Every structure is written in C-alpha cells, then in structure tokens.
Amino acid sequence: MGDLANSAVDFYPKSQRRELNHAGGLGCTLPELRGLMELRGAEALQKIQDGYSDISGLCRRLKTSPTEGLSDNAADLEKRRQIYGQNFIPPKQPKTFLQLVWEALQDVTLIILEIAAIISLGLSFYAPPGEETEAKKQDGAVAMEMQPLKSAEGGEMEDREKKKTSAPKKEKSVLQGKLTKLAVQIGKAGLVMSAITVIILVLYFVIQTFVLDGRVWLAECTPVYVQYFVKFFIIGVTVLVVAVPEGLPLAVTISLAYSVKKMMKDNNLVRHLDACETMGNATAICSDKTGTLTTNRMTVVQAYLGDTHYRQTPEPGSLTPRILDLLVHAIAINSAYTTKILPPEKDGGLPRQVGNKTECALLGFLLELHRDYQPVRDQLPEEKLYKVYTFNSVRKSMSTVTRLPQGGFRVFSKGASEILLKKCSNILSSSGELRGFRPRDRDEMVKKVIEPMACEGLRTICLAFRDFAAGPEPDWENENDIVGELTCIAVVGIEDPVRPEVPEAIRKCQKAGITVRMVTGDNINTARAIAAKCGILQPGEDFLCLEGKEFNRRIRNEKGEIEQERLDKIWPKLRVLARSSPTDKHTLVKGIIDSTIGEQRQVVAVTGDGTNDGPALKKADVGFAMGIAGTDVAKEASDIILTDDNFSSIVKAVMWGRNVYDSISKFLQFQLTVNVVAVVVAFTGACITQDSPLKAVQMLWVNLIMDTFASLALATEPPTESLLLRKPYGRNKPLISRTMMKNILGHGVYQLSIIFTLLFAGEIIFDIDSGRNAPLHAPPSEHYTIIFNTFVLMQLFNEVNARKIHGERNVFQGVFGNPIFCAIVLGTFGIQIVIVQFGGKPFSCSPLNAEQWLWCLFVGVGELVWGQLIATIPTSHLKCLKEAGHGPGKDEITDEEMAEDEEEIDHAERELRRGQILWFRGLNRIQTQIRVVKAFRSSLYEGLEKPDSKTSIHNFMTTPEFLLNDYTHNIPLIDDTDVEESEAARRPPSPPPTPNKNNNAIDSGVYLATDDGSKSPTSAGPASPLHSMETSL
C-alpha cells in the first residue's frame, strides 16, 4: 500500500479550487515554509491554524490547489523558482582534482618513493670536478611512481557533527588497513636493508682501497671516490625502491574499480567503493520480502465473500449485486487514483501494473469479476473525496471518507486483516445483509480463513465500510473513532510469487556461511510460508519467527529500554521478523552489529526501499536500496543500488567482494616473491661484487611489471562459483595465509638458486665474459643481461602460478576467460624482447642469441614445474610457516582514536600516526624518569637539613617541601596510561557499566563522587614523587 504520507489530507471541491486560482500573490516566505516543514503532528496543525486559519488558507496564500497542484503557467513557475528555488535535491560538491592528488600524496609508500626520487634526481645532476657536464646518468633514473587517486565516493562531502563516543565504528576499509600495515612493515625492512647495503659497500670499498691496497686519499682522486660513493648510494636507493611495495594500494584501487564496473552488469550500482570489499565479508543479510524475494506482481487468488471461502476467483453471478457494488466502490475509491491497470505493451503479455502493487492486485480482482473501476472514479473524482487517512506502517490501514448523495458519509477501509477485523462489528452475509460479527466469530474466521491463507504464503487484506447518518459531523481528527464499528465486506488472499531464482541464491548464501533473515510487514504466517518457500527456514532447524511486538517485548526491560544482552539471546536464531516497522529493522541491524558474543563482529547487509528504511541502510555495513521501488532517500542512504530489485543480485555482490579479496591476495603472493628475490639479489650481489646484478633502470622495469601490469592482470580475474563454497574470511583473517607463504618462499628459493648460479657461474655455462667486477662505466655485458632476462621471464611464468592461492594444481583454469591477463603477459614478453635486443646502454642490456633466449625460456618455464612440486608439499606439515598481514586488533585501537570526531576508523592513517605516538611516549617516559631522579635527589638533600621530617614515611610523602610543584608536566601526555593516572585524582569515579548500550538505552548521567576531603593523606597525588615513580615503572 505504498509509502504515502502519514498525515491525513483534506480534499476540496472545484468551486473552492477556482477561488484559490483567482487569489492574490504569494503570501508565504521561504523561511515560513521551512519552519512549517520542521514541525510534525499536532504542533504543525496548530501552527497552520494560528497563521493561516486552515489548510485552505495556506493554499490561498500560496496560490495553489490542494488536489491538482500548480498550474502549467510558465511565467508563474519561473516566478516561484526565483522565490522558493528549484524543486530538486542539489548534487553534492565533488572533490577537485587537486584535492584528490593531495590525498594520494599522503600514502606512506609514496612518501618513501618521493624522498628516494628527490635524492636520486639530485644525485643525477651531480657532476664531479674535472668531469664533463654531460656525465652519464643511467644509474640516476628517477624512481617516481604515482599512486591511484582515491575515490571521492560519489563526491561525499558531508559536515559531520562532532561527537565523542566509544560505540563501535564503521571501518573505512579493512583490506586497505591490512595492506597499509603490511606495506609499512615491509617498507621499514627495506629501509634497513638499503642502509645496510650502503654501509657494507662503503666499508668494503674503504677497507679494500685504503687498508688492504694501502692507498692514500689524494685530492686529485676525490672526484673518482665521490663517484663510487654516489654509485653505492644509488644502489641503496634501488634496493629501497624495490623493497617498498607501492603497488599494494594501486592493486586495491584497480581491483575495486574493475569490480564496480563489472558489477553494474550484474545489476549492482555501487555508490561507495568500500562496500564492494565489505560485502565479501558479509555474515548476515536482512532482506525485505516484497519485490526482493518475490516478483512484486501481486494477484488475488483467494477470497472470502458472503460467508463463502473461494479458492479461486468467483463467478460474478455467484455474488449478490449489493456485495459486488460495495466491493467495487471499496476498491476503486479507497486506493490511490494513480494506481492503474494498463493494457500489456505486447500482444499476449500480462497487463501492466502501475502504482502500488497491492492496490493493483485488488483492481485486477475487479477486472476478473468483469467489473471496471474507472467509471466509479469518473463519477467520484479525487477532488470530491471528503477526507483520506493514508496508509502508514503504524496503523497498517487506509481509509477514505465520501459524502453520500442522500446525506451522511461513508467510510471505506482496507488493511491488514487481523488488525482491521478487530474493528469490525458487522459482516455482510450471503444475501448482502448486515450480520453481527462477534469476537468468537472473528476468532473462527481467523482460524478457518485467514490462517489457512497465510500458511499458503498469501497476504490477507480486509475490506470494510461504515456509514454515518446525516446530522452533526463527527470529529474527523479522531481516527480511532472514525475507523471503528466497521462492516466487513470481504477478506482477500493476495499472492506474491517467490522469484524462481531466489531459493537457489539463498542456498548459495547459506553454503557461503551467510545467514539470511527476512524482515517484513506481512502476517507472521504469510512470512513463515514465504520463508519456507525461499529456503530461509529449513526443516528441523532451530529458528525463531517473531512479530514486531513480541520482538520488542523480548528485547526491552521494564523501563522500555533495549538491552543488548536480551537482544543477543534473540538474533542468532531469528530468521523471520514479521509485522515489523522500520524502527524494528534498525534495532535488529544495530543489535547484530554491536553484538560481541561471537569471535568476530558480524558484518550485516540490509535491503530497503522506503524512506523510513534510511536509518537501517545507514547503520548497516552494506546498505542495498531498490533501484525500481526504492525512494530517493533510501538510495541516498545506501551503499549499493539493486537496479533489478532482485535478491540474487546480492549474491553476485558477495561473489565480487570475495573476488576482490582473493585478487589482492594473488597479487600480494606474486609481488612479495619478486620483492624478496630482487632485494636479496641486489643486496647480496652488491655486497659481494660491489655492484647490483640488476641495474636501476632494470629494477624500474621489474617494478613496472610487478606493480602496474600485475595489478591489472591479477586484480581483474572474474569471480567463480567456487568463491561461495567457503565461509567469510572475517576482519582478522591475515592477508598472507600459510599456503601463500609456502608459495612465496618456495618460488623465492627456486629463483634465487637460478640467479646466484648464473651470477657466479654464468660465464662458464654460456662461455661468455664475466660481468662481475666491471669498471665504473663499462659497457653492458651478456652475462648480466642473461641474469636480467632470466629474472623477468621467471616472474612472467610465476605470474601464472600466482593465479591460484589455495593450493590448486591447474593454474591455467579459466585463464582464457580473462583477456586482460593474457594480453598483459604476452605484451610484457614482447616488450622484454625489445628491451633486451634493442635497449642497449640505457637499459644496460646486450643483445642475446637464440640459444641464450631458449635457455632463459627454459628456466622460466621451470617455474611452472616447480610450482607443481610446491603444491605436492602439504601445508599442514610446515609448522614453521607463519601467517602475515593481520588486521589491526582491538587492543591496537586506542581510546583517543575511538573518541575522535570521525565516524569511521582509517587504518592507514592510524598506522602512520602510531609511529609518532610511540616516539612521544618514549620521550615522555624519559622526561618522567629524569623528574623522578631529580625529585628523590631533592628530597634527599632537603631531608638531611630537616631530620624531623623523616619521622615516618607518611610525613615524608605529605611534607609540602617535597612536593614536585616545580616539575609539573610541560608537554602533552601522549601515553593514554599517563593521562588516566594524572586525571584519576581529579575526575569522579565512573558509574558502573550498564548493559543498556544499544539503541535508545541512555545513561542517567548521575554519578556518585567521593568527597575530596576523604582522600587518604598517604595517597600519591599526581605531582608526588611516588606518583612519578609509579608512572615510570
């Protein structure tokens, strides 16, 4: 029955409308109208009565009609636009390109590379004295790589209210946080390795030159020595650049962007990139029924009319004219006039349903009875309706008041059968006469008619009316009295068939470890029947099906407050929540998210289409709005919009989310293998031969292969059904599993063995000149070119191995389903041929012959064979392997971060800030220890002068001379433990924790504080030596 306005709407005849159209100018200002919109209920009505006498007066002031709205006068519309503004929601201001660039420049890995680039660029311009300015700078290549711009997330620039709370917060991107933490750790290790490389090279050169060879530093040799030191430094920078995994953020962005584009074809319009990743970890889905699990094409299939239960549409001749006439008027008039049944667009097709689907089913029922609703509406147009009580989720009914020709009024009502039947005191008999309808008659109808319909999955709607005799008009504002003492016309059963693909989609969700819950406004029997058809309820399963009232009764205490402990006893077994309101949905979603009874926090996805679903969609980890039936407010509050309103599209979103995680893991496995091998080769080769076997430009090409190209190749793998055969990874799942660690180390051993064999015996194997210990500006050698070529080809074939991260043997499965992967591998191989054969001195390459190329290819293909050998080793036998890339734990999130203004936790930013916090903590503790030493030294000396003060330890601690008034804290306390200790004496004790930490449970704010005067004289004040000693300890 739709999302119509909740308040009653008055309608007026055409004569009054003509008076309005001839009224004067606009008599309401924009602030006045805005003030009206901020009021609700009786307060708003009182405001209208005080300022405009009634709604009619307001309409006259605005020069409009309450039934037909504004006229089509272009000049009048333009005038209104100038006064009141345009009638549309303004788009949010997107971030500028420079803002996006600045955000991208904050990435920690990029900062490291920027520093390396500046140093390398500066050194490349260095020309030693006596050398030509056109000095060769091939080793001074600028190692500058740009990171992807962060998504503006739909241009979201909201002004958030500042609030400090310890409630659980939505994490911005769990995967991004894990990657940032891992990248920082690897970057630190690379920085240490690069520093050690430079130190070893410098010491080796100095010892060899000035100690063993006995040379003396001559002034004329200084430019040569400086050149060597510059070369060593550039080698160190090269090791650092290779070690820093700057491709990780790039891989995430590419994978998410690619997934978002492909998800659009699967009817998922992603509004926030993070939602795609989060959906892969979803553990619960709270879904609507109508339109999501069902087709949203409703049809009346059963009816109770004139004391008879019809299992199919009755013949018109079997019903009395009075019943038929009342039924036609009750349906035609008491429905939105915008709801219609139109002819099919194609011959042989079904009639088109326009408007509210439930009302369309009732109108279709009239057409099946060979009755037309349109003549009734033409005879009684919408402006002649006297009053309308529109449908809302509270009353679950709709009523319309019409004036009778002979005087008096008639009220038509329709709504939920079990609710409206309680307001009926009469019912139409088979002859069309009124018959008393007692409570036991109602109970019998519920048992024999309504419950059987509901058990078959039918939505039951009651149609009723009431006549008011001519005379004094009743109080139309008292809806409860108006919609009472009704006469039941009929009870109909409306079927909304389950979408044929939904049961299979729900089965996939259950296999994937995702619990599906139905939250609907339908009767509990109807909801239970639909849930059974969908597969949400399984035979023999221990589950709960509750109505909204029972749900609230169980989760609230005597004060009406929601308790998380009570909610935790309900939601794990809850599968169906019937007769629920949008508030109930929000309560359920918030309760599941805030629950701590499991090992990991639940990740909840929610579907919604109405305006009132906005809070639940916002609260959920991933909010799905209906693209067809959804309101603009619901879409704005959502993360993903289902363009087909189909539940099976949510399952595809789960597949894409899990595929993002696996794609990043594939890329991580490949890149870390390259990182380990490249760093070890550069470090070992430089320390032994005083030169890196892989030159700076070659390293940059390798970096390009393993960053940009590998990101595109491995992050664009399409999802498969096998992704739904495992449980959600969870937020604390490490990025690098033990199987991946086995692959990384295993392939690293193979590649290092090959590279070192070629480095120290390559000239013998291929009968060529050695490239080791070459002069400073020696031409490229075949020896080092073979090493470089073999290294690159091993990475290409290892990229094929990296497509599988769970120990699968067939690494070629589905490879041709990803044309991007094939194109990148073949394209990289082609470019490698060009670099080796024609790169020359800029790439430090010497052309190779066919035999040398075949040997390089043979070693590269050996990666595939070696991968099969690694797969045969059971991971369970390798107990020494450890996982890596864990997400930030709960203990790593400090109270300061949880109390920040931001509503979301940015793991990347927190990782950067942690280093600063540790630095200041160390500085603070050193200063504290210094103060302790000074305090005891001062107290000792002063104590010697005043021996009376040492009569007892208590006197010693309370003597004013020994208070550290001169040694108060002069810097901010970064350590949260220091803050707590220093403030402990000043703040009142906190109240005992209350279990009411969910939803509307509010602390009273009344605390019991102890008297300051009762403090023990022996207590350590915040400025006492004992306190300082305790702090340092």
Do 434 and 487 form a contact (C-beta atoms < 8 A)? yes
**Residue length of the chain:** 1033
Q: Identity (one letter) of the amino acid at 746?
A: G
Do 44 and 36 form a contact (C-beta atoms < 8 A)? yes
Tokens of 15: 């004569």
Tokens of 469: 């005799």
Do 1028 and 964 form a contact (C-beta atoms < 8 A)? yes
d(CA 251, CA 464): 62
d(CA 694, CA 685): 9
Taking Cα atoms as reference points, which of 86, 6, 20, 14 lies closest to residue 58?
A: 20
Q: Which residues contact 537 (CB under 8 A, 6 or more apart)?
A: 528, 531, 543, 545, 575, 576
* Number of Cβ within a 10 Å radius of residue 713: 28
Please list, residue by residue across 793-806, b when 16 or more beta carbons sit within 10 angstroms of its beta carbon and e when fewer do: bbbbbbbbbbbbbe
| 3-class secondary structure per residue, 797-810 | HHHHHCCCCCCCCC
Do 255 and 663 form a contact (C-beta atoms < 8 A)? yes
Taking Cα atoms as reference points, which of 906, 921, 966 lies closest to residue 274?
A: 906
* H runs (alpha helix) in 162-246: 174-206, 222-243
* H runs (alpha helix) in 369-470: 374-379, 417-420, 439-445, 451-455
Strand partners, 736: 884
Half-sphere exposure for 97 (CA within 13 Å, toward CB): 0
Do 622 and 276 form a contact (C-beta atoms < 8 A)? no
Taking Cα atoms as reference points, which of 345, 335, 597 lies closest to residue 461?
A: 335
Strand partners, 635: none
d(CA 792, CA 693): 13
Catalytic residue among 266, 288, 609, 645: 288
Taking Cα atoms as reference points, which of 64, 70, 54, 68 lies closest to residue 20?
A: 64
Q: Which residues contact 588 (CB under 8 A, 6 or more apart)?
A: 286, 517, 519, 551, 571, 574, 577
The answer to whether 594 is a known catalytic residue is no
DSSP notation for 461-490: EEEEEEEE-SSSPP-TT-HHHHS-SEEEEE
* Number of Cβ within a 10 Å radius of residue 812: 11
d(CA 496, CA 520): 13
Cα angle, residue 25 at apex, residues 22 and 26 outer, rounded to 5°: 120
Do 683 and 757 form a contact (C-beta atoms < 8 A)? no
Give how far Cα 1001 sits from Cα of 559, 563, 591, 997, Å.
10, 7, 12, 6
d(CA 806, CA 796): 20
Taking Cα atoms as reference points, which of 807, 789, 767, 1033 lies closest to residue 925?
A: 1033
Taking every pair of Cα atoms in the chain, the longest distance, rounded to a whole number of angstroms, is: 127
Tokens of 161: 């209210």
Q: Identity (one letter) of the amino acid at 916?
A: Q
Residues with catalytic roles? 288
